Amino acid sequence: MSSETGRSSGIASRISGAAGRAGGAALDRLTTVTGPINRVLQPLANVYNRLIGGYFGEMNGLQFVLVVGTLVGLLTAPFWGNYALIQAMIAASIWAILAMGWDIQSGYTGYISFGHSVLSGGAGYTTAMLIHNVNPELPMLVTIPVSVLAALGIGLLIALPSLRLSGPYFSLITFVAVLIFYRMMNPLSEYTGGETGLAGVEKIFDITEPVQSYYLFLLPMLAVAVALLIVARSNIGLILLAIRENESAVEAAGINATKFKIWSFMLSSIPMGIGGVLLAHRFGGVDPGSFIVVDNSIEMIAMAVVGGMGSILGPLGGAFFIILMEDIVLHAFGLDAQLRWAILWIIVLLILVFARQGLFRKLWYGLERLGGDRR
Amino acid sequence: MLDQILSVLLLGAVVSAIYALVAIGFTMIFGVGGVLNLAHGGLIMFGAYAYVVLTSSSVVGAIAVPPAAGFVIAVIATALASYALYAGLVRYIEDNVVITFLSTVMVALLLTNLIHYRFGANPQGTPSVLSGSLHLEGFGTRIGYMYILGFVLSWITIGLLWYYVTQTDEGRSILATSMSERGAQLTGVNLLSVKSRTWLIAGAFAGIAGVILGTVEPTTPQMWLNPLANAFIIVVIGGIGSIKGSVVAAYLIGYLQQFTTEFIGQGYVGIPSLIVLVAVLLLLPEGLYGREFAHE
């Protein structure tokens, strides 16, 4: 097609393409330096590749160092970070769970959902409503599984009718689902607390023990990341990706695509439930403004976009990037909260237009090239 | 009881007329470019704030034009903003549906944050184009003149649009493009110009809806959400891309919501529309008049 719009739409890709080529040439020159470093590190990576590479995919020495370095950095944060940083990292851990949960459904199948804040919000509300309406003494061992199950139920409720639709229709319906859920809060205010929400959820963030509390958020995040990575790198992940690329081909191969889409929605409901419960326990309560509004879904999407949709670890990085930018970096300039988010939206827009793959996927492939020839 | 029914009939008609304005702009952009413009609600808010800035001297500088002039300028400004959104952003990325609608969401939120930063979260005092209200003794209700103005304007603009897309060559090329982009190109239609005109028209519709909504409801940084959600529901029920479907569905949803408010309760407003929406999706996934002439 040689329409004018066809030509103009090429401009953005040409600009990013040119930048990519210039960057690529620089990368290739750097390889002479980084190649030997990579060869030194390669034996370490090979140990990993032989042991568990089959589950997560293989990597070269530089990539191995990045992953291990990040992991060590995350695990030791309480020992070198200050209070504000730890607070931000706790928030980032929760949001990373939500962004990864969104990614396994929307990022992988290409069915973009704006409704995921209903899943996390539903789980948070279930926890608060159990404590508020049923019995304030309910132990977490009861409330947490019930809340995650509630997220699953809500997920099924949204997925069954909406996944009959394709593309934009699906996104519209999930968007509407959030607004309806939000509006239900007021008529049911006897149970939900209406606009003000409910308080009284046990806070598991203890100010006097920031170190211990930090791990209560970090470890579930890492567990979710590992679990989702295993699924994403398995044949199931492959089918979900195939649905994104060409759904009729999947159907033609004798695979029921709708079934897999519903499964992916279910699969993403579980991390959404975990994230929602953690969010409720962090704030010590729930309210519609910080749990359900569609902005929450869009923030998850923004994190996934920044990191790279359809990669699980990308959204994880994106969540830390956005939260740390918002709470630490832009905060340091003393900007108003509205202005901070405005800047972040501009960053996300730029990434959408010029780096559709996402920052962390670019970094990952950059390291692959820096490692030089593997053989 | 009779009073209530009459009041539902009257209020429903004026509310639906505004819904129709919002939904038509949204559906036209989808029909022509296949672009889901989630910033459409943002454009409505842009129109409302443009009107506030222009007409009340207390907001920005000492600009204060008469309300009627402010109305016209705000509508033109919104149309231009809509065109700028297309020419400055959407044009370059419309080949990828997902990237496009994610980008328009980001634009909507960016606008929300900027307006919140500049004007604060509190509702703005908006001077009416026409103040006062019509008291209808027989019906036991009163309707603001703004609502009546909205109703009249809505039908005038819908009529003009109908004339434009069915009777003029320029307009027919818009209709042709929404039926089949390739077919339109083969007959010599300039796609870029068709799309630009569509975004201008959609922006103007959003501007009119924005000024009217801004005067009858509070003008706040969150005001874009409900009109956008209603537009979604209406457009899906009417069939994405169909102007006729949008008008029919706008009246369906407008009356349904008015009926719910009057007889069931304000808090349940969205629920019956959702039930209708789900029913339509399950029975007629394409909507009432979904893409009736379209060739994929």
Per residue in B257-292, pLDDT (tens digit) is 888 888 887 777 777 888 888 788 778 877 888 765
- Domain B2-133+142-283 adopts which CATH fold? ABC transporter involved in vitamin B12 uptake, BtuC (1.10.3470)
Q: What percent of chain B has pLDDT over 90?
A: 29
Q: Are A32 and A18 in contact (CB under 8 A)?
A: no
**Interface membership of B9 toward A (CB under 8 Å):** no
CB A280 within 8 A of CB A146: no
The count of other CB atoms within 10 Å of the CB of residue A64 is 23
Give the phi and the psi of residue A356 in degrees, each rounded to 5.
-55, -25
Domain spans of chain B, in order of start: 2-133+142-283
3-class DSSP state of A285: strand
CATH for A10-370, options being 1.10.3470, 3.30.360, 1.10.10, 1.10.287: 1.10.3470
pTM strictly above 0.90 = no
A258: tokens are 């709708």
The gap between the terminal CA atoms of chain A, to the nearest Å, is 42
pLDDT at residue B60 tops 60: yes
Nearest CA in chain B to A344: B110
Q: In whole angstroms, what is the distance from residue A272 CA to residue A264 CA?
A: 12
Structure tokens at A276: 């929602």
Mutate to test the interface with B, among A1, A2, A9, A189 (most CBs of B within 10 A): A9
Of chain B residues 153-182, which have a CB less than 8 A from chain A? 181-182
For B188, half-sphere exposure in the C-beta direction (CA atoms, 13 angstrom radius) is 2
Nearest chain A residue to B33 by CA distance is A5
Size of interface A-B (CB pairs under 8 A): 129
CA distances from A226 to A213, A329, B200 (A): 21, 28, 48
Three-state SS at B48: helix
Residue A4 has pLDDT above 60, yes or no: no
Identify the residue with better confidence: A23 or A49. Answer: A49
Domain residues of chain A, as ranges? Answer: 10-370
Contacts of B269 in chain A (CB under 8 A): 183
> Which chain A residues have a beta carbon less than 8 Å from that of B277?
173, 176
- DSSP-assigned letter for residue B124: B
Highest mean pLDDT range out of A78-92, A144-158, A190-204? A144-158
pLDDT digits (tens, 9 = 90+) for B68-116: 888 899 999 999 999 999 999 998 888 888 888 889 989 999 999 999 8
Q: Residue A165: which of B116, B270, B285 has the nearest Cβ?
A: B285
pLDDT of residue A3: 43
Residues in contact with B245: Cβ distance below 8 Å, sequence separation at least 6, in sequence order: B27, B235, B237, B238, B239, B287, B288, B289, B290
Closest residue by Cα to residue A204 from A215, A213, A195: A213
Do the chains contact at A168 and B274, CB–CB below 8 Å? no
**Contact check, Cβ <8 Å, A171/B36:** yes
Mean pLDDT value of segment A69-75: 88
Mean pLDDT over A101-109 rounds to: 92
**Measured distance CA(A53)–CA(A59) in Å, rounded:** 8
What residues in B contact A179, CB-CB < 8 Å? 225-226, 229, 270
Distance to chain B for A247, nearest Cα, Å:
15
A350: pLDDT strictly greater than 50: yes
Name the average pLDDT for chain A.
82
* Exposed/middle/buried for residue B22 (C-beta within 10 Å: 0-12, 13-18, 19+): buried
Query: Which chain B residues have a beta carbon less than 8 Å from that of A341?
Result: 109, 113
Chain A: nearest CA to B102, how far in angstroms? Answer: 8
pLDDT at res. A225: 93
The more confident residue out of B20 and A17 is B20
Give the Cα separation of A108 and A93 in Å (integer).
21
Q: What is the DSSP letter of A326?
A: I
